[in-house]
Every structure is written in structure tokens, then in C-alpha cells.
């Protein structure tokens, strides 16, 4: 069984908002054994919506649509679907009562545009939206199922979880889909492929291996489908172990989590604490850490120290070290890391100092030069990286390199 997702809205196509709905929906559909064939974004234009719907039905059994169901004139999805399925709009009393109750609870007057939201194509199955005023509409057409939902994420998520997915599971006998991810760091995609070529060649046809690179990291994702869930899980577990054993030096974790989350979990299990001393990354490493719930069990805090003065006063970097070697140097970054250990009283510390760019390069230290140090109470190690000329990429690569370096230090590989 194949599914397709269509998102509607000019705001997506002009980059005003990011389409997070599709990624979330695709993951949920995969969890119940539905493969997503394609994701399409179209403008608030009837002809574009119709074209996308016609095309989707040639590929997929289930088409899920989000967006364009609001009360304003630019929200044309419902009217377009009414004409497409030749179902005139009618007022649905249950929907009207639901909308009326919402406005009464909020003590707000209803206007004509709000009342019109109770109009639905005569012939669709109406699914009430407990978190909003725009109802979900379920159509069955020429053996296909088409579902139209609001684009507001928390409304769509509620409808998917509570209504749409349970109905799809009842309507179809779906296969099992199993995914397993191996997060690696420190080796490029092509080199990983070379290392595990013999294993990849032996993978059965119903299991696929995908390479998902991202700035110093590569996710290896095994995906399989079949009717015997236990057999499928065992097959994928066996292949996962073969791959993880073959590239053990580069494996962060055999799970679909970020590198910083894997490190936080490892450090929490060992009762270790962490602090940061950041210059060119400007707090980005701390941000990545603190976005995870429970990070306070490991992360004590840190300092963003751009200037020489703050490197000296906050972290205790020696004045002569900065004057002789400069901020972007092995000597300075080591003292930053040791200063973080001393002043923040943690078991480990990350320190980063570099030239993110696009300006600031100098002979021997071009843009993209980044020194990273990892320290604990027993010692400190530093390493230089040369990333390139793009500021944002340099910051992101610095964070990944720092986490990879920290992981190797914790594992006593450096």
C-alpha cells in the first residue's frame, strides 16, 4: 500500500514557513506499514490542487492533504474538493454546533466566515476537529482514499493520531515496516560504503540500506517490509550488528537520535557532567545540548567568550598565551577547556575557538580554521580542523566535530 502527501499553501512555497507536517505524517504512516510514495507542495490555486490530486491518484492508494481549510478567502481547498468530486457544499449541523460551542467557550462572536466553515462537500465523511474549527473530510473515490485536514500542526496531529490512522488501519491489511538507524561520525559516506560493501551486497531485496549524510555524520538506515514482524526485526537486527561490528570505530549509537543526545545519555548513565567554553560557535553547542529534555542531569552550563578579556576573566586563559599564540590556537583552546573544568566544576568540558568567517582569515589560519579541545580532570586533548569558507556550515561542523571528539575521549580512544 502506498500513500502520498499534498501540502497546500503559498506560505510554504515562498519559504515563509517550513513544512514540518509532511515529515511528521510520513513517519507516522511508516509506523503503520504505509510507504509514502511522494510529497508535493502546491500553491493556493485550484488548478494546481486538482493537478496534484490527479497525479497522486496514479501512484498512491491513500492521499493525505493538509492546508487551505481556514475561514478566509485564500483558503480554497474545500471549495476545490467540492467541485472535484462533484459534491455540492452543505451545512453540517454537527460541525456547526461544534464551532458554535468553541466561540461560546471563548466568549467571542461568530461571523459569517466562521459559519461557512461548517459547510462540507455533500458525500464526504466528516471527522470533527476537537482542536479547531475546520473539520477533516474523508473521501472515497475510485478505490482511493483522500483525506483533507487543516494545516495547523497540532490540529493535524490530533486528527492523524485519533481519527485518520485508526480508520486507515481498519480499512486495510497493512504489512509491517521496520526501520533501524546506525548513527556514525568521523568517516565520509563513500568511505563507509566501501567498508561495508560486502554486507550491503548480501542484504535481501525486501530490506533497503540508505545513507543519510549530514556535516561530519552519516546515518545508515535499514528499512524493511513484510508480513512477519518478528522475522523482519530479527533480520534487520542481524544486519545492524554486522554493520556496527565492521565499522565499530565510527559508530555513535544504533538508534535514530542526534549525536548530542547519544552523548548525554551515555554521560548520564556514567554519572558524568559537562560544561562548554565557546568562541566561534557562539553558544550553538550549548543550544544543541539544552534542546533535549533532561539535559540538566549532565550539562552544568558554559560560557560564550568571544573577546580576549572574557577568555581571561571568565576562563582564566593567560594573557601571554593570547598575545603570543592568538585566540585560535592549540594553547588557547586547551586553557579554555581547562578553565571550564576548574570554574564550572564538571567532569568534562568542550572548548572551541576558530575563524567562522567570512572574514578574519590570516596567513596560516584561513577562514574555517577551528581548534577544539576536550578536557577532564586528568588531562586535555586538542585538535585542529579546517572546514571551509561558509560561516554557518563552519559553526555546525564545529559542533559535530566537538561532539565526536568528546565521545572518543569518553570512550578513551584519544
**Who contacts 399 (Cβ-Cβ below 8 Å, separation ≥6)?**
281, 284, 285, 288
- Evaluate if residue 61 carries a pLDDT over 90: yes
229 and 267, same domain (yes or no): no
Residue 277 half-sphere exposure, CB side, CA atoms within 13 Å?
35
222 and 298, same domain (yes or no): no
55 and 140, same domain (yes or no): yes
What's the pLDDT tens digit per position in 312-365?
Answer: 999 999 999 999 999 999 999 999 999 999 999 999 999 999 999 999 999 999
Average the pLDDT over 382-398 and give the result. Answer: 95
How far is residue 159 CA from its own chain's centroid? 21
What's the pLDDT tens digit per position in 215-268?
Answer: 889 999 999 999 999 999 999 999 999 999 999 999 999 999 999 999 999 999
The structural domain count of the chain equals: 3
Quote the CA–CA distance of 130 and 161 in Å, as a whole number: 12
How far is residue 222 CA from its own chain's centroid? 18
pLDDT category, 74, cuts 50, 70, 90?
Answer: confident
Instruction: Find out whether 311 and 279 touch, Cβ atoms under 8 Å.
Output: yes
21 and 109, same domain (yes or no): yes
What's the pLDDT tens digit per position in 189-213?
Answer: 999 999 999 999 999 999 999 999 9
181 and 157, same domain (yes or no): no
349 and 210, same domain (yes or no): no
Q: State which of 171, 191, 212 marks the end of a domain.
A: 171
Q: Which three cell numbers stand for residue 329?
A: 590556537
Q: Is 67 left (phi over 0), alpha (psi -120 to 50) or beta?
A: left
According to DSSP, the β-strands at 62-66 and 144-149 are parallel
9 and 63, same domain (yes or no): yes
Mean pLDDT of the chain: 95
Domain span including residue 49:
2-171
CA max distance for the chain: 81
What's the pLDDT tens digit per position in 85-123?
Answer: 999 999 999 999 999 999 999 899 999 999 999 999 999
According to DSSP, the β-strands at 125-127 and 136-141 are antiparallel
Q: What local confidence, expressed as pLDDT, does residue 414 receive?
A: 58
Q: State which of 116, 151, 171 marks the end of a domain.
A: 171
Q: Which three cell numbers stand for residue 185?
A: 561520525
23 and 128, same domain (yes or no): yes
What's the pLDDT tens digit per position in 127-183?
Answer: 999 999 999 999 999 999 999 999 999 999 999 999 999 999 999 989 999 999 999
pLDDT category, 71, cuts 50, 70, 90?
Answer: confident
The secondary structure of 57-117, three-state, reads HCCCCEEEEECCCCCCCCCCHHHHHHHHCCCCEEECHHHHHHHHHHHHHCCCCCCHHHHHC
What's the pLDDT tens digit per position in 281-308?
Answer: 999 999 999 999 999 999 999 999 999 9
74 and 189, same domain (yes or no): no
CATH number for the domain harbouring residue 294: 3.90.950.20
Q: State which of 107, 139, 171 marks the end of a domain.
A: 171
350 and 240, same domain (yes or no): no
301 and 180, same domain (yes or no): no
Instruction: Find out whether 136 and 163 touch, Cβ atoms under 8 Å.
Output: yes
Q: What local confidence, expressed as pLDDT, does residue 73 receive?
A: 85
Quote the CA–CA distance of 405 and 376 in Å, as a whole number: 13
Q: What local confidence, expressed as pLDDT, does residue 413 receive?
A: 67
Amino acid at each position: 500500500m502506498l500513500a502520498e502527501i499534498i501540502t497546500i499553501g503559498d506560505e510554504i512555497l515562498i519559504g515563509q514557513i517550513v513544512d514540518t507536517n509532511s515529515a511528521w505524517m510520513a513517519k507516522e504512516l511508516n509506523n503503520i506499514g504505509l510507504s509514502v510514495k511522494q510529497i508535493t507542495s502546491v500553491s493556493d490555486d485550484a488548478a494546481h490542487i486538482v493537478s496534484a490530486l490527479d497525479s497522486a491518484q496514479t501512484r498512491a492508494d491513500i492521499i493525505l492533504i493538509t492546508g487551505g481549510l481556514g475561514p478566509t478567502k485564500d483558503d480554497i481547498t474545500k471549495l476545490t474538493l467540492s467541485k472535484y468530486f462533484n459534491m455540492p457544499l452543505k451545512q453540517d449541523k454537527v460541525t456547526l454546533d461544534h464551532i458554535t460551542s468553541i466561540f461560546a467557550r471563548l466568549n467571542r462572536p461568530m461571523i459569517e466566515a466562521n459559519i461557512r466553515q461548517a459547510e462540507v462537500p455533500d458525500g464526504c465523511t466528516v471527522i470533527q476537529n476537537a482542536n479547531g474549527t475546520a473539520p477533516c473530510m474523508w473521501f472515497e473515490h475510485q478505490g482511493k482514499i483522500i483525506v483533507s485536514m487543516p494545516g495547523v500542526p497540532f490540529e493535524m496531529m490530533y486528527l492523524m493520531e485519533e481519527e485518520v490512522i485508526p480508520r486507515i488501519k481498519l480499512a486495510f491489511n497493512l504489512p509491517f515496516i521496520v526501520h533501524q538507524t546506525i548513527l556514525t561520525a568521523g568517516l565520509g559516506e563513500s568511505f563507509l560504503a566501501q567498508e561495508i560493501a560486502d554486507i550491503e551486497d548480501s542484504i535481501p531485496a525486501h530490506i533497503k540500506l540508505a545513507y543519510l549524510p549530514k556535516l561530519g555524520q552519516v546515518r545508515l538506515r535499514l528499512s524493511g517490509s513484510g508480513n512477519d514482524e518478528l522475522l523482519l526485526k530479527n533480520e534487520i537486527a542481524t544486519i545492524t550488528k554486522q554493520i556496527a561490528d565492521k565499522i565499530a570505530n565510527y559508530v555513535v549509537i544504533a538508534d535514530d537520535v542526534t549525536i548530542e543526545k547519544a552523548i548525554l545519555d551515555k554521560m548520564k548513565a556514567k554519572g558524568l557532567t559537562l560544561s562548554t567554553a565557546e568562541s566561534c560557535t557562539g553558544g550553538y553547542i550549548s543550544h544543541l545540548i539544552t534542546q533535549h529534555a533532561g539535559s540538566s542531569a549532565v550539562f552544568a552550563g558554559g560560557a560564550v567568550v568571544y573577546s580576549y578579556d572574557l577568555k581571561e576573566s571568565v576562563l582564566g586563559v593567560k594573557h601571554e598565551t593570547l598575545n603570543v599564540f592568538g585566540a585560535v590556537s592549540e594553547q588557547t583552546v586547551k586553557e579554555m577547556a581547562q578553565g571550564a573544568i576548574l570554574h564550572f566544576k564538571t567532569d568534562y568540558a568542550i572548548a572551541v575557538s576558530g575563524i567562522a568567517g567570512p572574514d578574519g582569515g590570516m596567513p596560516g589560519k584561513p577562514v574555517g580554521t577551528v581548534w577544539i579541545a576536550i578536557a577532564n580532570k586528568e588531562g586535555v586533548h586538542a585538535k585542529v580542523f579546517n572546514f571551509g569558507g561558509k560561516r554557518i556550515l563552519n559553526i555546525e561542523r564545529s559542533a559535530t566535530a566537538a561532539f565526536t571528539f568528546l565521545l572518543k575521549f569518553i570512550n578513551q580512544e584519544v
